């Protein structure tokens, strides 16, 4: 009975050790596989994205001297305050999301105005329609679970790959935005 009690007393320590080990290995994995902001393109999508790895792999397939990693971040309440989402390069947002996240958005670069129907507010263009709720048609419909409203592609105000931001290191965001329209 004493041996059983000794083992039971060790269980909290074993669980703590297990949690610490998982945390450390998770941090190491992230450290080894993640890229600095300057070398990755981040796409935030304001709905469920069953095909996030498919979309990321298609974006990564584009040869680039600057971008070596593409991340697709689907909407999650736990990520609402995440700095990574606030600093995303591209967004796919619902019409209501365009208002909700407006402070994170940049006016469209000139090169993106030809991609499709635009979303205009305050006398500037902020989004390109990527999904029409009425016709249930748009880009990447097999990989994004759009809800019943129109969705727009927008550019991040803090993106390092959009020259609308004065701290930008490249002008890759419009190129990757146009690539989204080519993925089948």
pLDDT in tens, 155-182: 999 999 988 888 888 989 999 999 999 9
What tokens does 86 get?
Answer: 């606030």
User: At what angle are helices 52-60 and 173-180 packed, to 10 degrees?
Assistant: 130
Indicate the average pLDDT of the chain: 88
The torsion angles phi and psi of 173, rounded to 5 degrees, stand at -55, -45
pLDDT in tens, 62-93: 988 899 899 998 887 555 557 777 889 999 99
Q: Which residues of 22-44 are buried (b: 16+ CB within 10 A; e: fewer)?
A: eeeeeeeeeeeeeeebebbbbbb
Per the CB < 8 A criterion, the answer to whether 97 and 103 are in contact is no
Q: What is the pLDDT of residue 178?
A: 92
What CATH fold (topology level) applies to the domain 35-180?
D-Maltodextrin-Binding Protein; domain 2 (3.40.190)
State the first-to-last Cα distance of the chain, in angstroms, to the nearest integer.
64
Which residue, among 120, 143, 148, 118, has the nearest Cα to 132 in the 3D structure? 148
Q: What is the pLDDT of residue 79?
A: 57
Q: Round to whole Å and give the CA distance between 46 and 172.
A: 22
Per the CB < 8 A criterion, the answer to whether 129 and 116 are in contact is yes
What tokens does 170 get?
Answer: 């490249």
Domain ranges (residues) in the chain: 1-33, 35-180
């Amino acid at each position: 009975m004493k041996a059983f009690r000794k083992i039971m007393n060790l269980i909290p320590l074993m669980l703590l050790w297990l949690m610490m080990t998982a945390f450390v290995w998770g941090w190491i994995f992230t450290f080894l596989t993640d890229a600095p902001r300057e070398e990755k393109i981040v796409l935030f999508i304001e709905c469920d994205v069953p095909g996030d790895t498919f979309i990321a792999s298609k974006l990564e397939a584009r040869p680039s001297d600057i971008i070596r990693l593409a991340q697709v971040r689907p909407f999650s309440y736990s990520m609402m305050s995440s700095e990574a989402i606030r600093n995303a390069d591209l967004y796919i947002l619902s019409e209501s999301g365009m208002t909700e996240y407006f402070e994170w958005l940049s006016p469209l670069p000139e090169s993106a105005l030809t991609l499709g129907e635009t979303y205009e507010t305050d006398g500037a263009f902020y989004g390109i329609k990527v999904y029409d709720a009425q016709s249930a048609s748009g880009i990447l419909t097999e990989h994004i679970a759009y809800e019943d409203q129109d969705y727009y592609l927008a550019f991040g105000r803090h993106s390092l790959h959009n020259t609308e931001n004065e701290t930008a290191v490249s002008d890759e965001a419009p190129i990757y935005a146009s690539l989204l329209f080519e993925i089948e």
